[in-house]
Structures are given as C-alpha cells and as structure tokens.
Amino acid sequence: MTVLTVNTPVFFPLTRKALQYAWNQLAGRIKIKDKLEVLIYYGHEENLDRNLDKPLIWIKPCTKETFENILYLVENSLTFQNVAHFLPDAGSHLIDQDMPALFWSSGAEDGKKPFLVKGSNRIIFNVDILAATFFMLSRWEEVVLKTRDNHNRFPAHESTAYKQGFLDRPVIDEYSVILRECLKILRPRWAPEPSGFRLKISHDIDSMSMYSGLISLLLRTAGDIVKRFKPRMALKTLQDGMRGFQDFKYNPYIKNIKWLADVSLENRIISSFNFMMSKKSKYDPEYELSKTKEIINYLQALRFEIGFHPGYYTFNNDTLFLMEKERMDQVLGRTNYGGRQHYLRFEVPMTWRLWERASLIYDSTLGYPEQEGFRCGTCYPYQPFDVLEQRIINIYECPLIVMDSTLANYKHINTIEAEKIILDLAKRCACVGGVFTMLWHNTSLCVKNHPYREMYRKLLPLLQKF
Ligand SMILES: [Zn+2]
C-alpha cells in the first residue's frame, strides 16, 4: 500500500499510528494495492520538498483545536461544498449531495477555500480527510462525551453526524471516492478495481415465545384435535416443511423465523440469524437451549449464517459476555463467528475489546436504535481503532445502517416513507460500493397483517437491484 508521509507534530488522539490507520482505511476502500508512484503527504508547506517532481496528494492538517471543537459546534454550522465545484470532471456524478467538511485544515478554518485544489501534478486538500476518517471510524466522540440514554447507550442526537446533518451519508466512503478520482487524475492509467455493492440482511432473534406457556399449550392441544379429525390435512401440513417441529406451526415468533428464512430463500439471500444465550431478565427472553438448538439446526441445514446475540448485561461485563459466548461455542461447535449486541448496547472501545478477546469475527451493533444512518460514517466492514490503547482492534465492525424498529417503533413512520428511507440508504451504500446492513426482527413487526411484513417482502427484490 502507498506509504503516508507525515511531516508535522501530532497530538493525542490523532497520533502517527492513528493517521496511518486512517490512511490505510481510505486507501483500502479504493483498493490501492501496488505502488502508485504518488506521494501522499500530510504536513505543512515549509516541510515539503520543493524539488519534488513526483505526483503529489497533499493533505493539509487541521489543528488540535479544530479537531476537538467539532464536538461543541453549534448545530448545522459545518460547511458543505458542492462536489461539482472542486471536482467537476469526475466524482460529482457519484456523490449527488454537497460534501461536509468535518475539519478544515490549518489556515482554512473560515471554510471559504475550496475543499481541494488541483494543480499541475499535485492535488491539495484544504480539508483534513485523515482526521475525519479517524474521528468517524474510531468513535472517539463516544469516548469523550458522557451523555447516555436510559439503556446506557450513546444517543444519536449527541453525535456530530446527527447535529451537523450528515448521519444519512457514508461520509468517509464518499471521501475515499473523492480520493480515488483525484488519484485517477494524477495517474490516468491506474484502473482501480470496482468494489461491488453487497446486501447484508440479519435477524436478531429477541424472543421465541409470544405466548406464555399456558396459551401455547392450549394452541397445541387445539391443533392436535384438528389433526385427529382431519388426518389427511394434518399429514400434509407436517410434510410442508414442519419436519416434526411443532413450534413452526403454533408459535408466531418461531413461525416468523421460518417466514424470514423463506423470504431470504426466495431471493437467494444468505441472511444471518443471531441467537441469544442469556439467562432470563427484565430485558432478556427466556433461554431455552433445546428449542434454540433445534431452530439453529433447521437454519443451518438451509445454509443460513448463525450469529451470536449477547444479552442485555454483557456489553460492559466480560465475565457474563464470555459465559454466554461459551454456550454459543458449544451449540455451534466452533468459536469464531459474528453477531450483534442485544438492544444495541455498546461502549466504545470496551465492547469491541470483548468481541476481540472472545475471538469473534465481526460485530454489527453500530447503528443508533432511534435513528437510522451511518453512525461510523461508513458502510464498509472495517477494523476499529482503540483510541485509548492506540491500536487496531482485531475484529471487524459491520455497521448497522437501518433496523425495522427504528422506523416503526421509535419514529412511527408508515410503510411508504419507511420504504423510501431504506431504499435511499441502500442507494448511498451502492454509490460507494459498500455493504448495506439491515436488521429485521422476528417479533412484533413481522406478525401476520402488520404492514411492515408485506413491505419487507416487497423490499428484498428491490434492494438486490442496486
Ligand atoms: Zn436484541
């Protein structure tokens, strides 16, 4: 990968390691693999070699004050620039909305200079895209800001992306698109590999029993009576995929799991189903190992991905986290898989460390429960950076872009609006060649006659067309 030359004093948390991490993230998104013969320079003019004849991308650094002050800016005070103004011949068709400049470089703080300037053989960024990349991906603001909601979660409205109006944009991926177009100008013969859009549909199995034991028993008994009087019909329903598994017939939440699997199969999507291994609590469902195993076997036979859904109290409790993880290991017969935290409870960087310590492959928690969009400024799976220990965390984060309950329960949005929001977000992911991660539960929104159920079925083929 092309080396980043840093020639400026650095500050915490934007250290040399952090800058190199940010550059690798941007370069990785546009698949810079071989030597491009372009100097990537991060520093001030006085330290730049004047006799340089190599093509140059020069990113001017922001100051420590600019970096830290972003947390306390007045709402909607960030400058946005039209991409067509600074990159007219390329890139503007990929990004149809104005680009936010998170950190203006030192000397350009008034926001009046162009985002970038093209000279002969060099392109100069007046916006510190490395600081922005580090800022968004590391979730540094979640470490610094202490406000939490009633479930101890970092709230969307505290985030810079929300306050400055770019939560609906994969801003870091868009920066990488701009960078790619710049490199193509400097190196016209460079043909970067296109990165394809991917769909990641996941289901957190929050509950498997809509009815209490008594009602469930009554339903089963009624079912048995029906079978006795209509033996032929009963035999047919048994053959219809029940495989002797009564709950697929009588328990609505388990029926929904099968329904979600069926819709995925119809669309040839390998979705993932995340299962809980917690003990019952106010926020965790009844834990039933044998039932869970049976459903997992059913889904695995159909080649679906099975993931881990750690319980409500695990996100900052390593003993509990590892205990539940061990149960999951035993059920799956292996130790490495992905998943998502229940209630999206997540503390940066602690929860990432738990996932790393447990040898898990990826977490997909980081979206906001109350607001859809790009919490990490990206839709690319990426390795997070631990701001406190100043190191890369050895797992992947696959940011969650939207879930059913955000739109239906938090925002009370009807299906027409919801469908538009989902398709718009997916389009943004497609434009940057990323991954559109959507969460659909097996619970209330999925029950028969709920309008969101029909919308979901209608959406999947549309999402595949991007
Ligand atoms: Zn959950």
In angstroms, what is the span from residue 311 Cα to ligand 1's centroid? 8
pLDDT tens readout for residues 101-128: 999 999 999 999 999 999 889 999 999 9
In angstroms, what is the span from residue 137 Cα to ligand 1's centroid? 23
- CATH number of residue 330's parent domain: 3.20.20.370
In angstroms, what is the span from residue 205 Cα to ligand 1's centroid? 7
Q: What is the pLDDT of residue 244?
A: 43
In angstroms, what is the span from residue 66 Cα to ligand 1's centroid? 38
Average pLDDT over residues 294-300: 96
Average pLDDT over residues 315-319: 98
Average pLDDT over residues 315-322: 98
In angstroms, what is the span from residue 135 Cα to ligand 1's centroid? 28
In angstroms, what is the span from residue 343 Cα to ligand 1's centroid? 5
In angstroms, what is the span from residue 24 Cα to ligand 1's centroid? 33
Across the chain, what does the average pLDDT equal?
91
Is 331 inside a domain boundary? yes
Q: Are 277 and 324 in contact (CB under 8 A)?
A: yes
CA distance 344 to 372: 13
Is 226 inside a domain boundary? no
Q: What is the pLDDT of residue 163?
A: 98
pLDDT tens readout for residues 209-238: 765 444 545 555 555 555 555 555 544 444
CA distance 204 to 206: 6
Q: Are residues 388 and 410 in the same domain?
A: yes
Is 224 inside a domain boundary? no
Average pLDDT over residues 331-357: 98
In angstroms, what is the span from residue 206 Cα to ligand 1's centroid? 5
In angstroms, what is the span from residue 285 Cα to ligand 1's centroid? 9
Answer yes or no: is pLDDT of 463 > 90. Answer: yes
Secondary structure in 3-state letters for 320-360: HHHHHHHHHHHHHCCCCCEECCHHHCCCCCHHHHHHHHCCC
CA 222 to each of CA 110, 198, 225, 240, 245: distance values in angstroms, whole numbers, following the listed order: 73, 44, 5, 19, 16
Is 216 inside a domain boundary? no
Which of 80-94, 142-156, 369-383 comes out lowest in average pLDDT?
80-94
In angstroms, what is the span from residue 284 Cα to ligand 1's centroid? 8
In angstroms, what is the span from residue 388 Cα to ligand 1's centroid? 28
CA 364 to each of CA 202, 244, 357, 383: distance values in angstroms, whole numbers, following the listed order: 9, 33, 16, 12
Range of the domain at 443: 198-210+251-463
Q: What is the pLDDT of residue 311?
A: 97
Is 221 inside a domain boundary? no
Q: List residues bridging with 103 in a β-sheet.
A: none
Q: What is the pLDDT of residue 237?
A: 45
Q: Are residues 172 and 277 in the same domain?
A: no
Is 245 inside a domain boundary? no
Question: Model-level pTM?
Answer: 0.91
Please give the tally of structural domains in the chain.
2
Q: Are residues 180 and 112 in the same domain?
A: yes
Q: Are residues 272 and 416 in the same domain?
A: yes
CA distance 463 to 358: 33
Average pLDDT over residues 452-465: 95
In angstroms, what is the span from residue 304 Cα to ligand 1's centroid? 19
Q: Are residues 206 and 146 in the same domain?
A: no
Strands (E), 38-161: 39-43, 56-59, 80-81, 99-100, 116-119, 122-125
Q: Are residues 149 and 293 in the same domain?
A: no
In angstroms, what is the span from residue 313 Cα to ligand 1's centroid? 12
Is 418 inside a domain boundary? yes
Q: Are residues 116 and 47 in the same domain?
A: yes
Tokens of 343: 């209630």
In angstroms, what is the span from residue 315 Cα to ligand 1's centroid? 12
In angstroms, what is the span from residue 186 Cα to ligand 1's centroid? 48
In angstroms, what is the span from residue 281 Cα to ligand 1's centroid? 13
Buried b or exposed e, range 309-335, using 16+ CB within 10 angstroms: bbbbbbbeeeebbebbbebbbebbeee
- Amino acid symbol at 257: I
CA distance 383 to 88: 33
Does residue 249 or residue 60 have the better pLDDT? 60
pLDDT tens readout for residues 415-439: 999 999 999 999 999 999 999 999 9
Q: What is the pLDDT of residue 239?
A: 44
Is 415 inside a domain boundary? yes
Q: Are residues 28 and 174 in the same domain?
A: yes
Q: Are residues 180 and 302 in the same domain?
A: no
Average pLDDT over residues 289-314: 96
In angstroms, what is the span from residue 230 Cα to ligand 1's centroid? 39
Q: Are residues 204 and 153 in the same domain?
A: no
In angstroms, what is the span from residue 158 Cα to ligand 1's centroid? 23
Q: What is the pLDDT of residue 269?
A: 97
In angstroms, what is the span from residue 428 Cα to ligand 1's centroid? 26
pLDDT tens readout for residues 263-292: 999 999 999 999 999 999 999 987 788 989
pLDDT tier at 37, thresholds 50, 70, 90: confident
In angstroms, what is the span from residue 312 Cα to ligand 1's centroid? 8
In angstroms, what is the span from residue 283 Cα to ligand 1's centroid? 9
Q: Are residues 165 and 306 in the same domain?
A: no
Q: What is the pLDDT of residue 216?
A: 46
Q: Are residues 258 and 359 in the same domain?
A: yes
In angstroms, what is the span from residue 241 Cα to ligand 1's centroid? 27
In angstroms, what is the span from residue 295 Cα to ligand 1's centroid? 17
Q: Where a domain ends, among 186, 221, 237? A: 186
